[in-house]
A and B are shown apart, each in its own frame.
Chain A
Amino acid sequence: MGKILRVDIGTGEISTEDTTKYVPEYIGGKGVATRIAWNELKPGTGPYDPQNMLMFMTGPFTGTLVPTSGRGSVCGISPRIHPTPWFTYGTMGGDWAAELKYAGFDAVIVKGNSAKLVYLWIHDGRADLRDANELAGLDTFVTQQHLKQRHGNRTQVVCIGPAGENRVLWSTIQHRLSNSIGDAGLGAVMGAKKLKALAINGTGSVGIAKPREFISICRKMAEMIKGGPTNYPHPTDLPYRSPVGPSNQQCSHGCPLGCGQLHRNVPAGLTVGSGTRNMMSHCEDYVFIHGESATNYPTEDIKDIYHGDMHTRETKAFGERIGTELQTVCEGLGLTSSFPINYYPWFWVCIENGVTEIEGVKLEPDEPRFWFEFMKKVAYREDSFGEIFAQDMLRAVEQLDLPPVVKKAANFQFPMWGQPSHRQGRSYESQPSPLWINTMLHWIIDSRDPIACHHQSSFVAGWFPLHNEGKGGTPDSNMEKLKAAYKKAFGTADGMEPGFENIDAKTKLALWQDNRAQVKDSLLICDWVFPAILHTFPSREEYLKADDYYGDIDAEAKMLTPLTGLDIDSSFLDRAGERIRNLDRALHIRNYRRSREIDSTGEWYYEYPEKSDGTKLDMQIFNAILDSYYTLRGWDKKTGHPTRAKLKELGLKDVAHELERIGILKP
């Protein structure tokens, strides 16, 4: 257990505090960040205020042999969240988090705003703020290269590009190739703080309480997950589901998988992105290259009829050559590279409704030239077009004179919290009932696109029988074996039955998944793999032969125990996850008046039918689901606030007192 580095970038003051103040109760990562946010972020703090904190977090697994443990988290108040900028989080892969631990710190918390551009050089228990004037305006790859040349090639760099410096709301905090904090919108906060980069190098290590046991359990878990991420039972020729081979790479330190596709020798001659000739793509960041069935807007507002076309529109695949070049420019500028999945179909809705140009810029979404221009204008806030789209789409459309149908289409692309439609149980990534019910709950409860959470439900769609016109599921699906795995994990598979019967079983599963998502972002471990209700198979043959799909939902506790020497079991982790969720809830209630009413703003989306099975809900069913969820959570059904009893039970008595003091909880 180490130290948290505290940096006031405004005054230059640097101090440390012991991590033991927050662990094991809050585990690490997002858990510790949430506790610090509760303690220190006052209501009314805006994303660009000096009081906002940018928290670079690691967890107890970071830098160890635990498979997939290289991830790091960044938390803070995000300007991107719509309509209220509030406290949120993001996670990313790479090597910086491990390097930070080796440099002697569990976290770096930056507050204050600097007057001039600086970077933070962190090395073996020390930290210095250095002038970054030379790095101003440099793209993310050149910045990384530059700092590696200055501080040694084993230095790990996290940085912002021109987009972050110019506070573009969808700018990234970038690291290596294709690892970034993207949709969280925290690149803009780094820009506001005038913090260009963190350069980290350390020669330390992470101690293990019981090395022999630890090595053995990590080996076992690496063996268990070697079939790859859980979005499909076995490797296929899908772009992000190929077997480990020469053309792919892990995203993170310590990961035995290879989810990132490598693209070598991106065409030269670029003015942006020139720090690399290569690129990596994982998932939606390949959209410029491979295209994707993206969310569409139902042109006729009919909720009763199922139209395949209503849900999706294929984005243009620009191919390996131009596609990778576009992605490189995007990441070089420091923009979220999954953006065309939402902007491409929306620009087409504009054109189809007679809006062929915006602020003097002709819309040509099928032309690569258009996207180069779009990204450059946004990143540098060029002209009124760039200024407007440097905000998120929902704020942009508020400022534009557009037909109502085009404005509404923007809501379909960004249905909740201003976050892009992404596995929310509708549109392009089909999730047959009951999976979308879980996913919906994750979306409406969280503060952003709840990636770590809904991958636990949405990924299972890959194990279902073929659906979504054959684009989803597996032809060899065996639902009996799938349900057997859930039965083994939870004693029942009722949560996996379609429809709205026995709703408690579904909300109970959603609640467990949500708690475990908090755990996972606090331990910092990959959400494509853990928690392992299911485990994958190295080949289709092994999948077909297997009697049992069950993975091991106790994997995290089994690895944490010999690592820390503490006697930790899954119920301890579930509890910690519940504590973190409730504290996050309390923070959002105190600072942003989060309520049942706010949770319910996402309901409208689910009145539209799910693509593959046509299932949908209305306000009455939604309310029944929410009642069930709140009750299981120990939250007040009317307000959606945690009860005093629940907070006390989780050791959050001080939080209950505070909510009482400001009149939210009744004494």
Chain B
Amino acid sequence: MPPADASFKVLKSGKIIHNPELCRGCRICELACSAYHDGACGAHLSRIHVIPDDLALEFPALVCHQCEYPSCYYACPKRDKSLCIDEETGARYINTDECMRCGNCARACPFTTSLIWVREEDDKKIYYKCDLCRGREGGPICVEVCPRDALTYVSRRKEK
């Protein structure tokens, strides 16, 4: 929920849209995402998760919606230091160095499966989410590598 303070306004964000009709579950998006952000390839590291049902030929994917009213952002006790808004793309992103690992953001995510992921590294919880590859020339890498144009990026300027 947005805070009661009505003057509080958040920059709109661009977003990644996944089309399950075009997706065939090759998972190159996951591989590129994890390689780019973490220097390792792994589905679990990725910020986008494809959950293909190969027998049913259904290919849903989970990626942050970059909500217009970002519950994760509002829930963060260190807002703008830990959970931040990128001025260029509008991405709601986590600054891991500042993150207190409280998990409020992940719990606040309104979707059934939280789109903020968590993994354990050296006994520490690392929260991570899609940051639209902010600062990357060419925009989100998953969109760029998708061989089937199943992913599209709508920038915040185009987003009406």
- Give A contacts to B, CB under 8 Å: 63-65, 67, 95, 98, 102, 141, 144-145, 153-154, 176-177, 202-208, 211, 214-215, 219, 222, 226, 244, 246, 248-250, 252-258, 262, 264, 275-278
Contacts and interface: CB of A to CB of B under 8 A. Distances in A.
Nearest to B25: A249
Contacts of A203: 42, 44, 119
Contact of B26 (A64, A145, A255): A255
Contacts of A248: 24
A206 B40 contact: yes
Residue in A141, A250, A252 with the greatest tally of chain B CB atoms within 10 Å: A250
Interface of B: 21-22, 24-28, 31-32, 34-36, 38-45, 51, 53-57, 119, 141, 145, 147-148
Contact of B147 (A98, A244, A246, A275): A244
11 contacts: A64-B31, A203-B119, A204-B42, A205-B45, A207-B39, A208-B39, A208-B40, A246-B21, A253-B26, A258-B24, A278-B57
A203 B42 CA distance: 7
Given A67-B28, A176-B55, A253-B27, 18 more contacts: A64-B31, A95-B27, A141-B55, A145-B55, A177-B54, A204-B42, A205-B38, A206-B41, A207-B39, A211-B39, A214-B35, A222-B147, A249-B24, A249-B57, A256-B26, A256-B28, A257-B147, A276-B56
B28 A205 contact: no
Nearest to A275: B55
B120 to A, nearest CB: 9
A588 B45 CA distance: 43
A177 B54 CA distance: 7
A211 B26 contact: no
Contacts of A246: 21-22
Contacts of B24: 248-250, 258
Given A64-B41, A65-B41, A215 B51 contact: no
Contact of B51 (A98, A154, A204, A205): A154
A72 to B, nearest CB: 15
Contacts of B119: 203
Contacts of B38: 205
B125 to A, nearest CB: 14
B22 to A, nearest CB: 7
Interface centre among B32, B44, B54, B145 (most CB of A within 10 A): B54
Contacts of B40: 205-208, 211
**Majority-rule SS of B interface residues:** loop
Nearest to B33: A65
Contact of B53 (A63, A153, A206): A153
Contacts of A65: 28, 31-32, 35, 41, 145
B80 to A, nearest CB: 29
A254 B24 CA distance: 11
B26 A278 contact: no
The 6 nearest A-B residue pairs measured at CB: A205-B42, A256-B147, A203-B44, A211-B39, A205-B40, A276-B55
A196 to B, nearest CB: 17
Contact of A262 (B32, B35, B36, B57): B57
Contacts of A255: 26, 28
A215 B56 contact: no
Contacts of A206: 40-42
A67 B22 CA distance: 19
Nearest to A278: B57
Given A214-B35, A246-B22, A254-B27, A278 B43 contact: no
A63 B21 contact: no
Nearest to B55: A276
Given A246-B21, A278-B57, A215 B36 contact: yes
Contacts of B34: 205
A250 B42 CA distance: 19
B145 A63 contact: no
Contacts of A102: 42-44
B32 A154 contact: no
A257 B56 CA distance: 20
A262 B52 CA distance: 15
A59 B24 CA distance: 24
A264 B54 CA distance: 12
A249 B51 CA distance: 15
A205 B40 CA distance: 6
Contacts of B147: 222, 226, 244, 256-257
